[in-house]
Amino acid sequence: VVDHAVHPLPAIWPLVGFERARPYRSRPYTAVPASRLPPNQVVRLAEVVGTSFARREPQCRHLQPAKLLPDGLRDAVHIDPFGTSAFGPWSRESLLYWFVRLLVLTDPTSPRSTVAVNEEALSQSLAILDDTGDVIGGAINETMPPLVDPPSFRQGDPFLDAVLTFVEPVFTLLGAQDAESIKALSIAYPEFRGAHAAGEVGHHFMVARSDALGKEDAFELVAATAARYQAPGHVFMLIEATNQWTGAACEALGATRVHFAPFRANRTVRPSAAPLADIVTSLDGFLSGKDSGSMLYAIRLA
């Protein structure tokens, strides 16, 4: 509990440890850029990541969505370059699937009538496929956005409104963590400050697997993300590790611990034994049932 907030930062920031991590990388599987996938497989990537987060991520599996489907969502359809879809079941899995599709793989600031693909995020994100071509694991990546002038998401989109309502408590925690971490890194390392301003800091946003991909092979998604960020000239990579597995993956790559944000320091949602009509809750009012938190790691790539 004494290690909450910013950690002491090293005077010399070590480079990413690819050689150190080599024994843990996968031999059977290679990660491929999501930009090479056809539309149906991009949708499948969002499904795999969303389902995994709903079942495994400490906050997402603890939070309870509102009991009732929001007004306007039942008969609504969403149209983007990946297809035309109804929302589907009112569940954590559906909410997090749409989170990936709406907030990362497509541009949430574009008009609802002409939703655009987020080409940059698609080129940075990765997928692992099985022998049949099915997506069994994925890494959702983006360039770390600036702290000023947050994007203005489109209004009047029932899909996006439903997703943002569910993830708002998580966004609040991680957004504050990102802000404190970026400020600390910018003060300690002028080169980081310049890289962030130039759009050269990658954000390893979400990494997940289906049951068909073993934990021992899922590390390939983290290592391959760091390697892919090196190619276009990204200098640093940030990761919010909200579970022990992701933290261990960061440690294997020689990442620097920057900031710890606890899940159970304060009750941030309404406590309720059962879902309530129109508000996000949890059993005890905390963001997670685990007495741990999110550790933000930073990796120096060059």
Question: Over the chain, what is the mean pLDDT?
Answer: 96
Is residue 138 within 8 A of residue 105, CB to CB? The reply is no
**Would the pLDDT of 1 be above 60?**
no
Tokens of 5: 């907030």
Hey, which residues does 5 pair with through a beta bridge?
260
Give me the DSSP letters along 131-156.
TTS-EEEEEEEEEPPPSSS---PPSS
Is residue 33 within 8 A of residue 42, CB to CB? The reply is no
Backbone angles phi, psi at 211, to 5 degrees: -65, -20
- In this predicted model, what pLDDT tens digit does every residue of 154-196 receive, in sequence order? 999 999 999 999 999 999 999 999 999 999 999 999 999 999 9
| H runs (alpha helix) in 28-157 | 39-56, 92-100, 119-124
Pairing of strands 32-33, 83-86: unpaired
pTM for the whole structure: 0.95
**pLDDT interval class at 151 (50, 70, 90):** confident
User: Rounded to whole angstroms, how far apart are CA atoms 144 and 13?
Assistant: 19
Minimum mean pLDDT among 3-7, 46-50, 64-68, 139-143: which range? 3-7
Specify the pLDDT at position 2.
53
In percent, the amount of the chain with pLDDT more than 70 equals 99
142 Cβ neighbours under 8 A, 6+ residues apart: 104, 118, 120, 121, 124, 125, 202, 203, 205
Specify the pLDDT at position 280.
98
